[in-house]
Copies of this chain bind each other. A is one copy, B any other.
Amino acid sequence: MKLDQIANEIAAEIEADAKAVENAADAKTPGLTPGPFGMAIAMVDGSLIRAGSSETFPIQSISKVFALSLALEKLGDTVFERVGREPSGDPFNSVIDLERTQGIPRNPFVNAGALVVVDILVEQFGDNARGVVLDLVKGGIKDATSKAAVMLDPEVLNEGGDLNRAMLHFMAHHDNVCSPVDAIMDTYARQCAVSVDCVGLAQAGCYLADTRIAANAANDRAKRMRTTLALMMTCGHYDGSGDFAVRVGLPAKSGVGGGILAIAPGIASIAVWSPNLDQHGNSMLGVRALEMLNARTGWSVFGPPVG
C-alpha cells in the first residue's frame, strides 16, 4: 500500500475511533471530546504526505529538541557537563532529581534540563537567543502555506512559570545557571510558543532524520543527530519513555500542545497532532496514530520496514 493511503486510512480510523477514545482509561480528562487530528510525513527525499487537520498548535516541549540541536552545534558534547543524558523515571517537572544530582538536571528534556540548554543559548547567542528556535523551525519549512502560518502563541507567551523559576533558582544555587532568570524564562517562553501545523513541524524536524555516516569523514553533524535521537528515544516522554519505545519504536518528542515529532532515521520525519493528553502529557490520539503507522509500515529503529 502507498504511504499516502496509509496516512489517510489512519486519519479516517482515528476519526471513526474517536468516540471510543473519549473515555479511554489512560485519558487525563475522561469524557472530553477527542477533538481534531492531524498528521504529516516529510520523507528525507523531500516528498510530503499529509492527512487530517491543518490547524496550528504551539510546539511547547518539542522545542527542547530544536534547542538541544543548536546547543550541540555550538558546544558539542561539553553540553553534557551541565546536563545529564539519563532517563529519570520521574515526571517532567520533578525537583527531587535536581536535589539528588546537586543541580545537574538528569537530561535535556525534563524541564530543568531544557532550562539549562536555554541558558546555554542565551550565553551563546545573547539577545538573539530569543529567536533562534523560531528561526530554525521556520527555516526548515518548505511548504509556503505552512511557513506563513508560523506564529508565537500569545497564551503560551503569557503563562506563569513558578515551577520553572523554582528550578532555575535551585540550579543557580548550585552554580548551574549563568544568565538572569528573567532572560531565560523569556527565551524559554518564546521557544515553547512557536506554533506550526503538522506539515510545518514534520518539515522543520526532517533534518534529524538524516544520520548517514560516510567512511573516512568527520561526520560531526551525523553524530550530533544520532546523539539527539538517542536522547529522544530514552528520555523523550519523561516517565512514559519506555512504554513509547515499546509501542512506537521511534525516537520522538511530545509537547503539551498535543503535537508529537517522531523520526524514522534515514526515512522520514513524522508530525502528529491532537489536543487531548494522556496522564503522562502525551497526545492520546497522536500516540495511537504512531502505533498504527508502526504496525502498517514496520517503521521502527528495532527492525527493517515491512516487506
Residues of chain A at the chain B interface (Cβ within 8 Å) = 84-90, 94-99, 106-107, 162-163, 165-170, 172-173, 211-215, 222, 225-227, 229-231, 233-235, 239-243, 245-246, 249, 251, 265-266, 298, 300-304, 306-307
Contact = CB atoms under 8 A, between A and B. Distances in A.
Contacts of A300: 226
A170 B171 CA distance: 13
3 nearest CB pairs, A to B = A211-B303, A87-B87, A166-B169
B302 A230 contact: yes
Contacts of A242: 84-87, 107, 230-231, 234-235
A155 B289 CA distance: 50
A227 B231 CA distance: 18
Nearest to A214: B306
Given A86-B239, A99-B96, A162-B172, A249 B234 contact: no
Given A166-B166, A242-B235, A246-B231, A213 B303 contact: yes
Contacts of A212: 303-304
Contacts of A239: 86
Given A166-B169, A166-B173, A249-B226, A266 B89 contact: no
Nearest to A87: B87
A123 to B, nearest CB: 18
A51 to B, nearest CB: 21
A213 B306 CA distance: 5
A13 to B, nearest CB: 18
Given A87-B234, A245-B233, A265 B169 contact: no
17 contacts: A85-B242, A86-B87, A87-B242, A162-B173, A163-B169, A166-B167, A213-B298, A215-B307, A222-B303, A226-B249, A230-B245, A230-B302, A233-B234, A233-B245, A235-B242, A265-B304, A266-B304
A71 to B, nearest CB: 15
A169 B172 CA distance: 14
Nearest to A240: B86
